[in-house]
């Protein structure tokens, strides 16, 4: 993890390191520890039921078992720590989306940790695919090699050789919905999304054209999705009387 972070930090201009805060590569790992201690069954009424405190259930947007669709991301199989960090960022206003901020501000830390554990345990189905008309050959080049003429490293240099993610801070991108990837890369490029540790994704996205973003989004969506790394029981064990 430390080596991976060091390699990726090398891609970030020094000026951005000073401006972005907090420079916390450990945040996702810290939240993963909380998720490991959480009871994922707490998440079930939040996911499948009526939601919480006036907020709608997660499944009403992210679908059954967190498969997502179009611009709404698949959550199944994402690292628990990454999921929990995003929820905290929404609640704090570090990541902006009206719907998600509304929901996150009605969750407590225990519920966030439980949701991370729940979705990390779900199996991602291969429902994504190229939908944006991007150039898949160009997308493959960007994912595997990058384009140093515009200071863009390969996606897989941080997100793993199959795009299946690395530890908690670098989420899987293989098999994610193209429209969601496109929207996030565009948001980083414009500055509308600003919660990437050390400004890494801001720096990468600035070098991508709109055409490049569509191409790499389509390519990644065509790849096999990751399998869940954090399998937990979602059934209550019988208690001895």
Kindly report the backbone phi and psi dihedral angles of residue 115, in degrees, each rounded to the nearest multiple of 5, phi listed first: -65, -40
Burial 97-109 (b: 16+ CB within 10 A, else e): eeebbebbeebee
DSSP state of 136: H
List the domains of the chain with CATH numbers. 24-120 (1.10.760.10)
Average pLDDT estimate for 164-186: 97
Q: How does pLDDT run across 116-165, given as a tens digit for each residue? A: 999 999 999 999 999 999 999 999 999 999 999 999 999 999 999 999 99
Gyration radius of the chain over CA positions: 18
Q: What is the pLDDT of residue 50?
A: 80
Query: Is-contact 56 49, C-beta < 8 A?
Result: no
Q: Is the dihedral of CA 32, 35, 40, 45 positive or negative?
A: negative
Predicted TM-score (pTM) of this structure: 0.87
Q: How does pLDDT run across 38-64, given as a tens digit for each residue? A: 999 999 999 998 888 888 999 999 998
Closest by CA to 24, choosing from 187, 201, 169, 191, is 169
Binding-site residue numbers for heme c are 58, 61-62, 100, 155, 158-159, 201
CB atoms within 10 A of CB 2: 8
Binding-site residue numbers are 58, 61-62, 100, 155, 158-159, 201
């Amino acid at each position: 993890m430390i080596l991976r972070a060091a390699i990726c930090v090398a891609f970030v201009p020094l000026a951005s390191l000073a401006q972005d805060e907090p420079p916390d590569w450990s945040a996702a790992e810290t939240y993963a520890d909380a998720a490991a201690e959480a009871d994922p069954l707490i998440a079930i009424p939040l996911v499948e039921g009526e939601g919480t405190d006036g907020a709608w259930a997660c499944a009403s947007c992210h679908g059954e078992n967190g498969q997502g669709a179009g611009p709404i991301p698949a959550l199944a199989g994402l690292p628990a720590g990454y999921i929990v960090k995003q929820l905290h960022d929404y609640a704090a206003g570090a990541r902006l989306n009206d719907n998600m901020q509304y929901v996150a501000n009605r969750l407590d830390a225990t519920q966030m940790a439980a949701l991370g554990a729940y979705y990390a345990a779900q199996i991602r189905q291969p429902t994504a695919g190229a939908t944006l008309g991007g150039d898949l050959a160009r997308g493959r080049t960007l994912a595997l090699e990058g384009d140093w003429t515009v200071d863009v490293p390969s996606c897989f240099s941080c997100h793993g050789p199959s795009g299946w993610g690395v530890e908690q801070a670098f989420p899987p991108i293989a098999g994610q919905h193209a429209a969601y990837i496109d929207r996030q890369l565009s948001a980083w490029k414009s500055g509308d999304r600003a919660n990437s540790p050390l400004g890494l994704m801001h720096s990468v996205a600035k070098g991508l054209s709109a055409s490049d973003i569509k191409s790499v989004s389509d390519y990644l969506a065509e790849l096999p999705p990751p399998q869940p790394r954090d399998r937990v029981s979602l059934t209550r064990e019988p208690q001895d009387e």
